[in-house]
Amino acid sequence: MNRREFSKLLLATGTTGVAAQTGLFGDMVAYAQNGEGGLTAIIQPEPPLLVVALNQQIPVGIIGGKLYESLLSYDFDLSPQPQLAKSWTVSEDGLTYTFELVDNAKWHDGTPFTAADVVFSCDVMLKEVHPRARANFDRCESITAEGDHTVVFKLKEPFAPFLLAFETSSAPIMPKHLYEGTDYRNNPANDTPVGTGPFKLAEWVRGSHIRLEANADYYHEGEPGLTEIFYRVVPDGASRSVAMETGEAQLSQFSDIETFDVQRLADMPHLDLTTKGYEFFSPVLWYEPNLRREPFNDVRFRKAMRLLLDPNFIVERIMFGLAQPATGPIASTTKFYDANVTTYEQDVEKANALLDEMGLAKDADGKRITIHHLVVPFGEMWTRLAEYFRQAMSAGGIEVVLDSTDPGGFAETVSNWDYDTTCNMLYQFGDPALGVARSYISSNIRKGVMFTNTQGYENAEVDTLFAEAAVQTSEEARQERYSKAQQILCDELPVLWMTEQKFATLYDNRIADLIVTATGVNANFAKAHYVK
């Protein structure tokens, strides 16, 4: 029985009638689903906590983005927009950034928000607990408050993407009065988050749901437009699809719905689909070889692997159109992308010629070599990617053994460089200096740390190009260096870029102004409302 048939059976047997009283989720909770201002959204997996400063995983960012805010948000073109900062100026030499803060914001406990909170967050707390924020704010000579509503950041040297460093998951502003002088990770406030956002935590029933309620003291008059948000934990993929189909849930995001089921749900009259709202993240997916090991340290082998692969197959048969082929390390949806690089069309004959040139002869069974591939343990999409990789490599006589593990084991194995090949997908965070360079510069080869240069690529020229591009104040000078870096990387293939992801957001079409920024479902939803 397929999902459509299962859903019809629910309707035919009156199950959805029961759902209207007890919920498909079967826990007697009265979820917000009546179009009168409440929203039920799927969240999977359940976040370990909601304090974005301490954890930047996807579910934390989704819910935490309603509770906490930063100085700026970003439109779909990645231009900065006001949030806790109402205006800002940048000095002519690119070294001084002055932010004028809103003067009527309060923390959820009623304490006034001031510049002291910004200084504490960016200059003290985030530097200790947040790796991306630490890298950004370590570039500052000083971070100071001038009165209660002005903050001045003075940089040691120009850093072109500095204004992109103030997205909520990158620089969440934390309440100084609750965290100063405490053990941040064990602070009791972590259990009852206090932010400045348009929603406050009302209830968290572990394994069931997280309920947010509207912040009546939010500093923008008339916002938020929703009265409450229920985030329902739904581990089963089929149940997530049914919840969206029947209207028990009004929002799903990222990979909540399996790619093969997205279009079926999007065709339903009560649901809309958008892939907007992920521009700031612009994730690029790749197959990753461990360059420390033979034969992956030979560029001919990496090129042979790439020639055996077809990104179009992944787009059409695994992503079902929710992606487009990637040409290199920088996504086409972000700044400084250059299409004028070496590209690779699938060519089995050329791949085999390269393998022959390496001296990897086929045995009587047509096998040249056996390698292992570590499967990413986060759902069906990753399993299909691993199976496709195994199938594609077989055309070159490369036998692939698939190794499975749990999420903790995966992170430990990859970060400690104990693998042959695997898959990965990293966010770009609006600028190559923030999200791209980290995967290729040799200074970021850090054993035991995920989302670094785990494959072990080293090229001094690439290091120099990324370093210079980050501090140039001219867009043209930055483009020149990033273009050169892209050309080198596409020739040397430290990873095998496959696709630029287009995550699906499905939502009840009675809701307006839900996705209005480049961080989509991670944004604060202050403007979202039901159309009467």
Report DSSP letters for 175-225, one per residue: -HHHHTTS-GGG-GGGGS---SSSEEEEEEETTTEEEEEE-TT-SSTT--S
| Structure tokens, 241 | 């699809």
Tokens of 120: 């504490």
Q: Please give the average per-residue pLDDT across 49-68, as a whole number.
A: 92
Q: How confident is the model at residue 135 (pLDDT cuts 50, 70, 90)?
A: confident
Give the angle 117-120-122 at the CA atoms, nearest 5°: 105
pLDDT in tens, 453-498: 999 999 999 999 999 999 998 999 999 999 999 999 999 999 999 9
Contacts of 91 (CB under 8 A, 6+ apart): 97, 98
Does the structure show a pLDDT above 50 at 515? yes
Q: In DSSP terms, which residues pair with 387 in a beta bridge?
A: none
Q: Residue 187 above 60 pLDDT?
A: yes
C-alpha to C-alpha distance for 114 and 104, rounded to whole angstroms: 9
Distances in Å between the Cα of 109 and the Cα atoms of 192, 194, 195, 218, 257 are 10, 7, 9, 12, 36
Q: Are strands 421-426 and 398-403 parallel, antiparallel or unpaired?
A: unpaired
Residue 9 DSSP SS3: helix
Q: How confident is the model at residue 58 (pLDDT cuts 50, 70, 90)?
A: confident
Complete DSSP assignment for 262-321: HHHHHTSTTEEEE--S-TTT--EEEEEE-TTSTTTTSHHHHHHHHHH--HHHIIIIISTT
Read off the tokens for 296.
Answer: 């992956």
Closest CA relative to residue 102, chosen from 86, 118, 123: 86
**pLDDT above 50: residue 30:** no
Can you give the pLDDT at residue 329? 98
pLDDT tens per residue across span 200-258: 999 999 999 999 999 999 999 999 999 999 999 999 989 999 999 999 999 999 989 99
Asked whether the predicted pLDDT for residue 25 surpasses 80, the reply is no
Could you give phi then psi for residue 223, rounded to 5 degrees? -120, 150
Rounded to an integer, what distance in angstroms lies between the CA atom of residue 360 and that of residue 131?
42
Residue 118 near residue 151 (C-beta atoms within 8 A): yes
Distance between the two ends of the chain, CA-based, in angstroms? 38
Mean per-residue pLDDT over the chain, rounded = 92
Mean pLDDT of the 170-195 span:
96
Locate 525 and state its tokens: 């939803």
Helix (H, G, I), strand (E, B) or coil at 209: strand
Coil, helix or strand at residue 233: strand
Rounded-to-integer distance, Cα 171 and Cα 122, Å: 7
pLDDT cut 90: percent of the chain above it: 83
Asked if pLDDT for residue 435 goes beyond 60, the answer is: yes
Say what the pLDDT of residue 288 is. 98
Q: What angle do CA 524, 525, 526 make, to 5 degrees?
A: 90
CA distance 101 to 80: 14
Q: Check if the beta carbon of residue 410 is closer than 8 Å to that of residue 379.
A: no
Q: Which amino acid is at 161?
A: P
400 with 393: CB under 8 angstroms? yes
pLDDT-based confidence at residue 9 (cuts at 50, 70, 90)? very low
Partners of 87 in beta bridges: 100
